Amino acid sequence: MTGRKFRKQALMAAFCLVLVATVVMATATAQETGNGKKAVQKVSLLETLKKGGVIGWTIVFLSMAAVALTVEHALSIRRSALLPMSSVLQMRALIKKRDFGELRDFCEEDRSYIAKVIGAAVSEPRGSYEDVEDAMIETGSDQSARLYRKIEYLSLIGNVSPMLGLLGTVVGMIQSFNTIERTGGFAKPAELAGGISKALITTCLGLMVAIPTLVVYVYFRNKIEQLSTEVADVGEELMKPIRMRALREGEGEDANEG
């Protein structure tokens, strides 16, 4: 199974889990019975979500997207994907043999972060080792920026969800006040319950989605920073033989000129 197929199956599994949880989970609420006693009646989460209206379902959709993105990032933003030890060992062996042609081919086929960095260093002849370092730094920055842009969708969901919840609160309160106005100020609590329920449900949903999503976003942001630093260190270590050779050649040229 390829990595792409595995990610697709993981995303589909996450979507199904969220959908099943939405339908199956239930909450209990007390309602009045005919004899005046309170009985516990099961109210499904699905029925509760329906009271949130279109805004509530929009937040639920965002929660599914957040779960799917989290699963995808967990699979792609990890050390074994960005800094695989097998690739590091292969590139170290090729550099030791000074087989830069095969090293270029390997880096073009390998999609890892470290392969992109090393591939930029050996992709074309450089005037000096400083040019090689500049190419590695530039490519590393580009790869890091790409990963940061990738997780920005989590930040977007984490910031938009509570705003949607607030919008639902305003819409629900407007509905309740419209009911009061329509009844001439003598609205029954049951008549106001719909708008108040929408206000509270959408606010709760927005916060429930925003809080874990922002936590996950910060986690992946810190992980990208950590892995970027590790890739830079490993890249420098891999290119050390080339750097030492360049220094020796530079010292030899200086000696000949002297």
Per-residue pLDDT tens digits of the chain, which is 258 residues long:
445 554 555 555 454 444 434 433 333 333 433 444 555 556 666 777 777 788 889 999 999 999 999 999 999 999 999 999 999 999 999 988 888 889 999 999 998 999 999 998 888 666 677 888 888 999 999 999 999 999 999 999 999 999 999 998 888 888 787 777 777 777 777 677 777 778 888 889 999 999 999 999 999 999 999 999 999 999 999 988 877 776 666 554 544 454
Classify residue 2: in a domain, yes or no: no
Classify residue 62: in a domain, yes or no: yes
Classify residue 32: in a domain, yes or no: no
Classify residue 20: in a domain, yes or no: no
Q: State the Cα–Cα distance between residues 139 and 161, nearest whole angstrom.
A: 34
Classify residue 5: in a domain, yes or no: no
Tell me the pTM.
0.75
User: Residue 219 burial by CB count (10 A; 0-12/13-18/19+): exposed, middle or buried?
Assistant: middle
User: Residue 29 burial by CB count (10 A; 0-12/13-18/19+): exposed, middle or buried?
Assistant: exposed
Classify residue 17: in a domain, yes or no: no
Classify residue 6: in a domain, yes or no: no
Phi/psi at 242 (5° precision): -70, -40
Classify residue 84: in a domain, yes or no: yes
Q: State the Cα–Cα distance between residues 127 and 243, nearest whole angstrom.
A: 13
Full domain range(s) for residue 152: 50-247
Q: State the Cα–Cα distance between residues 43 and 39, nearest whole angstrom.
A: 12
Q: How many domains does the chain have?
A: 1
Q: What is the pLDDT of residue 22?
A: 43
